[in-house]
Structure 1
Amino acid sequence: MTQTRTTRLERGRSALGPALELVHTGRAPTRAVLTAELGVTRATAGVVAAELETLGLIRVDSRPTAAAGAQGRPSHRLAIDPDGPVALAAQVHADGFRAALVGLGGRTVATAPGAMSVPADPVHVLTAVVEAGAELLRRTGRRCLGAGLAVPSAVAEPEGAALNPLHVAWPAGAPVREIFAERVREAGVLGPAGTPVTAFTGNDINLAALAEHRHGAGRGSRDLLCVATGHRGVGGALVLDGRLHSGSSGLALEVGHLTVNPEGRPCYCGSRGCLDVEADPLAFLTAAGRDAGPEVSLLRQAADLLRTEYGDPAVRAATGQLIDRLGLGLAGLVNILNPDRIILGGLHRELLAADPDRLRAVVADRSLWGRSGGVPILPCTLDHNSLVGAAELAWQPVLDDPLGALAGQREKRA
C-alpha cells in the first residue's frame, strides 16, 4: 500500500462503517453517491470502498459505464459481495421455528425447512434451530460473523430474558439470549478470529420493523411505526430517526395490549378487548365462523381464507370487524407517536389489501386535527422480515466497525 493510500485510509477509517451501511441499505449504489453521502474526497471514498472490498464485504465495479444519456464521468458501481459472509438468523413463533443465513443487504442466502411445533422447553427448540443453522453453514461453506434470534415475546434488556412468551409454552423470564448463545457455542459456529460468534436476541416485531426500515417498505422513513399480527397476537415497533426504539429496558411498543373493544374477548394479560385478541389470525377465523385446523399455521389459514373467500358474507363481515379494531388501535398510536409512515405485516397486510379505504378512513376519523390521518399506511414487503431483522442484530457490530469485526480475518490473510 502506498504512503498516499495509507494516509487516505487513515483519514477514511472512521468512514468505513458509515460507508458499509450506505451500501448495505442500498443508499450508495455508486462511488459518486458514496462520496457525496460521506462528505469526503473522491480519492478517500475510493480507498474506503477498496478496503471494504478487500474485507470481502462489497464489490466495486472495475469498469464503470455511464447510463444512457448521462453526463460527466461514469462512476464505479458498488454492490454487496454475493459470496461474502453471512449471519445465522433464527426465529421462533407460535407455530414453529426457522433458521436461515442472511448476507449483507438483507439477502437470504439459504433457509432451512421450517418446523411446525415448539417444545415447551426453550432449550429444546433453540438447540434444534441452531443445529439447523449450523448445518446450513456447513453445507454452504459460508463465513459467519454473528447470530441473531427473533422471539414472540418482549425481551428485557440487558439480560435478554423473554418476559411474556404468551403464545409459546415457555416459562416467563426464560433466559433466551443466554440459551441461544450457549447453543451457538456448542454448535461450533465460529467467527473470523476462530472464536464463537456473538449471539443476539430481540422481539420478532421489533426486528421485522428494523429489517423493513433498512431494506423494505420503511426505507427512507424517519419515524416508522410497524404493527403486525405474527402467528398469534399483535405486536408493534417504532423506528425513531433511523434507530429502533426499544425503551429503557427493551419493552417499548407493546401495542397488542391496547384496548380496542372494552366488552371484547379476555386477553392473556388479564385485560379485555386488547388488539392481541381482537385483531390476530385466531380472532379473524373465529369472527368468520371457521375452526382453526392444526395442520397449517393460523396465520396461513387466516390469510388464505381472506384471499380465497372474501366474497363470503361471513368472511367479509369478519374483515370489516378486524379492520375497525385495527384502525382504532392505529389511530391511538398515531395520536401519541406522530409517525411519518405506518407499515403493516402478517394478517394486517392482507386486511389492508382487502379494503385499504376502510382502514385509512377509520384511522383518519379517529386521528387528531386531520393531519395525522394522512400518514401513509403501507404493507410490509420483505419475506420473513423477522429473520432478516435477527440478522441485522448480528450485522450491527460489523456496520459499526468493519475492521474490528473482521480483525481475525485480516490477521489470517496477513
Structure 2
Amino acid sequence: MTGKAGTGATGAVTTRTRLDRGRGALGPALELVHTGRAPTRAVLTAGLGVTRATAGAVAGELEALGLISVDAHPGAAAGAQGRPSHRLEIAGDGPVALAAQVHADGFRAALVGLGGRIVATTPGCEIIDADPAKVLGSVVDAGVELLRESGRRCVGAGLAVPSAVAEPEGLALNPLHLAWPAGAPVREIFARCVRAAGITGPAFAANDINLAALAEHRHGAGRGARDLLCVATGHRGVGGALVLDGRLHTGSSGLALEVGHLTVNPEGRPCHCGSRGCLDVETDPEAFLAAASLATRPESSPLHQANDAIGDRYPADPAVRTAVEALIDRLGLGLAGLVNILNPDRIVLGGLHRTLLDADPERLHAVVADRSLWGRSGQVPVLACTLDHSSLVGAAELAWQPVLDDPLGALT
C-alpha cells in the first residue's frame, strides 16, 4: 500500500513538474498553432524541442484555456503507416479580438479569432467625421454589437488607421485623407472608447499598411518569408511596411518606411508632402482614374472604381490599358529602388497594386528586374496579398499578441 501511495505521489509530482516546465512553452506553442505551423502534436513537439509528454501537457493546457481543440483520434490518411498524431486546431468557439479599421471612405469593425479567422464583420460605413472621437466611438459601438450577437469572449481591441502612428504616444501624425488634426491621440481615444464599451482587454492602434504586412506575414502570402516588403494602396495614397527577421520593423518611433514619398515621376502630380511625382500620388486609385480619363463617382470609393475598371475593361479599352501600363511602370520603378535598399526576400502587394499585378505580372516583374541592381539573376518574388481585410486581421494581431506572449497570464 505504501509503495502504491508513493508511486502515485511520484506520478503526481512528475505530472506537475512536466506541466510547470511546459508553461514556459505555452506562448510559443500557441503561436505555432496560430500561424498554421503546428497542425499536429508531433509537429508541435518538434517545433518546441520538448518531449511528447510535455507537448501533450502544453496542448492540454491550451485546450483547457479554450484556445485550441485537440483531436486525439484523427482518421489516418489513405496508405499511411502507424498511428496518426493528435490533430491541433483553433477552438471553433474560442475568444476573439475586436478589430477596427478607419480609412478615407469609411470604417469597419470585425471580430477575429486565432489563426487570423474573421468571425464576423459589420457592413462598411461610408461616413467619416472630422472628429476622431466620434468615428472611433461609432466603430467600437459597431464592434460591441458584434460581440453581443456572438457571445464570444473578447481579449482586446486593435485599430488600423491610414497614418503613421508615433510611438510610444500613439499619435496619428499625418491622417491627411481623414481631415483629422495632425497628432491626434488615436490610441488614447480608441482605448477610452473600448473601456467605455465595457471591454476589459488592452487596446492598440497602428498604421494600416504595417498591420496588413503583419497579417500577411503570419497568415497570408508572406508566410515563411524572413524579410518581407509590403506595398499597398489604401482607398487613397500608398503605404509600405517591412518585416525583418520575422518582426515588424517600425523604426525608433514607429515611423519607418514612408514609401509613399519615393519620387517615381519627377514631372508628375503635386504631392501632399510638398514634393512632386511621389508614389503616393502616382500609383494610387485616384492617379489611375485620372490617367484613364475616368471621372470619380461619389457613390463609390476610388479604389473600388479603379479595381472595377481594370477588371471590366482591361486590356480591351485603350485608355484603361495605357493607364495600367503607366502605373505599373511607376510602381515597378519604386519597388526596384526599395529592393536595392532593403534586399527583401519577398514582396507582397495590396489594394490597387494587387490588381495591377494581376493585370500584367510579366510587365511588373520585368520593370523591377531591369531597374534593380541584381537584375533578373536576383529577382525578388512579387506576390499578391491573399487575405481579405488584411489590415483588420493585422489590427486583431495587436490584440492577440499579449495572449501569444503569455496565454495563462492574459486569460486568467
TM-score, normalisation: structure 2: 0.96
Question: Is the Cα contact below 8 Å between 1:365 and 1:373 reproduced in 2?
Answer: no
What is the aligned counterpart of 2:401 among 383, 396, 399? Answer: 396
Alpha-carbon spacing, 1:372–1:56, altered in 2? closer, same or farther (3 Å): farther
Residue 292 (structure 1) aligns with: 296
Residue 62 (structure 1) aligns with: 72
Secondary structure (helix, strand or coil) at the match of 2:89 reads strand
Alpha-carbon spacing, 1:107–1:372, altered in 2? closer, same or farther (3 Å): farther
Residue 5 (structure 2) aligns with: none
Residue 330 (structure 1) aligns with: 335
Residue 85 (structure 1) aligns with: 95
Which of these two proteins has the greater Rg computed from alpha carbons? 2
Structure 1 residue 373: deviation in Å?
A: 4.7
Question: Is the Cα contact below 8 Å between 2:72 and 2:85 reproduced in 1?
Answer: no
What is the aligned counterpart of 2:312 among 293, 308, 311? Answer: 308
Is 1:94 equivalent to 2:104 in the alignment? yes
Is 1:19 equivalent to 2:29 in the alignment? yes
4+ residue runs over 4 A deviation: none
Question: Is the Cα contact below 8 Å between 1:335 and 1:372 reproduced in 2?
Answer: no
Question: Is the Cα contact below 8 Å between 1:65 and 1:75 reproduced in 2?
Answer: no
**Structure 2 counterpart of 1:209, one-letter code:** A
Is 1:205 equivalent to 2:215 in the alignment? no
Residue 124 (structure 1) aligns with: 134
Secondary structure (helix, strand or coil) at the match of 2:223 reads coil
**Structure 1 counterpart of 2:302, one-letter code:** L
Q: Distance in 2 between matches of 1:307 and 1:207?
A: 27
* Farther off after superposition, 293-302 or 46-55: 293-302
Structure 1 residue 14: deviation in Å?
A: 0.9
- Unmatched 5+ residue regions in structure 1? 190-195, 408-414
Residue 382 (structure 2) aligns with: 377
Q: Map residues 15-164 of structure 1 onto 2, 5 A cutoff.
A: 15-164=25-174
Secondary structure (helix, strand or coil) at the match of 1:202 reads strand
Residue 177 (structure 2) aligns with: 167
Secondary structure (helix, strand or coil) at the match of 1:68 reads coil
Question: Is the Cα contact below 8 Å between 1:363 and 1:373 reproduced in 2?
Answer: no
Identity, in percent, stands at 80
Q: Distance in 1 between matches of 2:377 and 2:268?
A: 27
Q: Distance in 1 between matches of 2:167 and 2:81?
A: 51
Deviations 1:329-361 (A, max 9, x none): 000000000000000000000000100000000
Alpha-carbon spacing, 1:241–1:48, altered in 2? closer, same or farther (3 Å): same
Structure 1 residue 229: deviation in Å?
A: 0.3
Q: Distance in 1 between matches of 2:351 and 2:385?
A: 8
Question: Is the Cα contact below 8 Å between 2:227 and 2:244 reproduced in 1?
Answer: yes
Question: Is the Cα contact below 8 Å between 2:76 and 2:83 reproduced in 1?
Answer: yes
Question: Is the Cα contact below 8 Å between 1:98 and 1:112 reproduced in 2?
Answer: yes
Is 1:318 equivalent to 2:328 in the alignment? no
Alpha-carbon spacing, 1:265–1:373, altered in 2? closer, same or farther (3 Å): farther
